[in-house]
Amino acid sequence: MPGLPPAAKRILAADEAIGVELYDLLGDKRHRQTCLNLINSCHHELLTRLETEFIRLLNDHECKLELSPFAGGAIAIEQDTLLWLQATNASNEHVILAINYATLYNLAEIFLGGQQAKIAKKAGDIKVSDSELRLLTTLLNIHLTASDQLLDLDNQWQILPINKPETAQEYLTASSCLTIKEYQATWDIWYQPSIIASRVAQTDAGTDQELLEAKLAYAAEKIPTALNLVLAKTRLTVAQLTRLRKDDLIMLDLPEVVNAYAGKQVIAQGRVVEKSGQLVMQVTDVPQD
């Protein structure tokens, strides 16, 4: 294999990109953080309003509510132990509330009277009464009304029970703990960040645009990019693939010119040569399109 000719003036090493900050160019993380900052800025007042509503619902001043600050994250699912309720608005955005079946039954006993139901061993055998669903809907409505008022949002929510939700989405999530004398009830709630997007847009309106543009220009020169160098391609039949074994040899035709890809885009072409005992690529062409 030929050596690298003197014409090559510089060698680009991968370790130059190690430790470089990863930039959120599309703003997804920044948007979620702004949503978190906005909803947590009124955390104390939200907690106060929720606690007041639960005291009114219970007609018991001994009850106390704790609400954790909202954080970002996906939904964590406990197998077969949670009842899920989803509130959907006109924009098809949703808020999800999850509560343990045993907690719901205890709440129903406290709020509605009656006798606590026995938890079935299998999720399919668990039965929830209309009264218990109405109670759970009331809990979610209290959350939604208080947060909408504080964030100056106008959502018309439709609330229905759902199956286990997908876990891939990012949410703003918080946990509630309601203490009623000696008893505690906990549930979790998840907001889609897009629900308060209009308020976020108002918050971001005063941001220094020139500062953002300067940061973007600086970031554009520092973004680590993975390059894939395709040295060879070949074809095998399905029969050959199914019979592949350890130590088999696959014949390859090495081209004179190889392509370097960033994603699916060819960003450079060149020759593979040796330099100080290492394989390197000498760039011979940089496509302009």
Output the six-digit token pair for 92: 């098809």
Output the six-digit token pair for 54: 């639960």
3-state secondary structure 123-147: HHHCCCCHHHHHHHHHHHHHHHHHH
Residue 287 carries which side chain, given as an amino acid letter?
P
> Any idea how long the chain is?
289
CA-CA-CA-CA dihedral for 51, 55, 61, 64, to nearest 10: -30
Output the six-digit token pair for 181: 């004398």
Is the Cα torsion angle 198, 33, 218, 209 positive or negative in sign?
positive
**What are the 10-residue block averages of pLDDT along the chain, 289 residues in total?**
54 58 63 85 92 83 87 75 88 90 80 56 62 88 92 89 81 90 86 79 56 70 76 83 85 84 85 83 84
Output the six-digit token pair for 244: 């592949």
Residue with tokens 């220094």: 208
Tell me which H or E stretch contains 213.
helix 209-220
Residue 60 carries which side chain, given as an amino acid letter?
D
CA-CA-CA-CA dihedral for 139, 142, 148, 149, to nearest 10: -170
Q: How far apart are CA 232 and CA 239, in angstroms?
A: 21
Tell me if 219 sits within 8 A of 25, measured CB to CB: yes
